């Protein structure tokens, strides 16, 4: 089993749609969690951290479910500019950050 | 504020040639430094990380090496490139307990 797994997609959604991605992790002792966004041929950039109580940043909501060992990202009112690859990142402890392979989102008009 | 610079941005190298990618971080002290590689259509693979000058941990055995001659400088090298070394190389920095920030990346094509 991979340490961090994501559905690769692509998720093809119309503008204005709500879309959600999940990311599962194998290490129950994982300490912190993040979502990154990566545009084509660019470096990944931090989208948001994921807190135990869940957190929201505008149209984006992140959730953590420790019991089931997954994190989620919800995007409401999708924009064309949301098209990108979304990477989940899990801090497994110490210096070990593990990246998922990413989920491709395509928002279409 | 902290910034990270990585170069060169793009390079095309013949098989068997050497490689040197350089990365520097400004605006912070004693960061953890990382080299990742992303092959086409694949996830990020951690190659090396460093917690201090001269301290290098290797995650994947291969023909690459890394060095940290100064606190905020991280270098990725190879003596002889293979075709399979092609990919997108990313330098990153992080303060312990915090999230990770990437440089703009270096596209390497081995021909």
Q: Which residues pair with A53 in a beta bridge?
A: none
For the cut 90, the answer to whether the pLDDT of residue B60 exceeds it is: no
CB contact under 8 A, B88 and A41: yes
Substitution target from A62, A95, A101, A102 for chain B, most B beta carbons within 10 A:
A95
Residue A103: count of CB within 10 angstroms of its CB: 22
How far apart CA A71 and CA B81 sit, in angstroms, is 38
For the cut 90, the answer to whether the pLDDT of residue B59 exceeds it is: no
Pairing between strand A4-6 and A19-25? antiparallel
Contact assessment for residue B105 and residue B88, using Cβ atoms and an 8 Å cutoff = yes
For the cut 80, the answer to whether the pLDDT of residue B42 exceeds it is: no
Give DSSP secondary structure letters for A37-52: EE-TTS--EEEEEE-T
Q: How does the average pLDDT of chain A come out, rounded?
A: 93
- Residue B1: pLDDT band with limits 50, 70, 90: confident
Q: How does the average pLDDT of chain B come out, rounded?
A: 92
Q: Which residues of A touch B57 (CB under 8 A)?
A: 95
pLDDT 10s digits, A26-53? 988 888 999 999 999 899 999 999 988 8
CB contact under 8 A, B43 and A100: yes
How far apart CA A61 and CA A22 sit, in angstroms, is 12
Q: With CA atoms as reference, report the closest residue to B28 among B96, B91, B106.
A: B96
| Tokens 């994947």 found at | B60
Lowest mean pLDDT among A28-37, A48-57, A60-69, B36-45: B36-45
CB contact under 8 A, B43 and A97: no
Name the interface residues of B facing A (CB cutoff 8 Å): 32, 34, 36, 42-44, 46, 49, 51, 57, 88, 90, 94, 96, 99-105, 107
């Amino acid at each position: 089993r991979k340490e961090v797994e994501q559905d690769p997609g692509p998720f093809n959604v119309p503008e204005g749609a709500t879309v959600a991605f999940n990311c599962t992790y194998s290490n129950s002792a994982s300490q912190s969690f993040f979502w990154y966004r990566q545009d084509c041929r660019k470096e990944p950039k931090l989208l948001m951290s994921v807190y135990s109580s869940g957190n929201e940043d505008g149209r984006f909501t992140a959730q953590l479910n420790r019991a089931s060992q997954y994190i989620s990202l919800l995007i409401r009112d999708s924009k064309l500019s949301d098209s990108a690859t979304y990477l989940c990142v899990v801090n497994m402890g110490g210096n070990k950050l593990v990246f998922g392979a990413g989920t491709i989102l395509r928002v279409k008009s | 504020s902290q910034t990270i610079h990585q170069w060169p941005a793009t390079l095309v190298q013949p098989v068997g040639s050497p490689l040197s990618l350089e990365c520097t971080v400004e605006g912070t002290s004693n960061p953890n430094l990382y080299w990742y590689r992303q092959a086409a259509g694949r996830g990020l693979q951690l190659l090396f990380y460093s917690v201090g000058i001269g301290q290098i941990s290797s995650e994947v055995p291969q023909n690459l090496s890394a060095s940290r001659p100064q606190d905020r400088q991280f270098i990725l090298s190879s003596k002889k490139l293979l075709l399979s070394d092609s990919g997108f190389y990313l330098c990153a920095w992080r303060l312990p307990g915090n999230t990770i920030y990437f440089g703009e990346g270096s596209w390497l094509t081995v021909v």
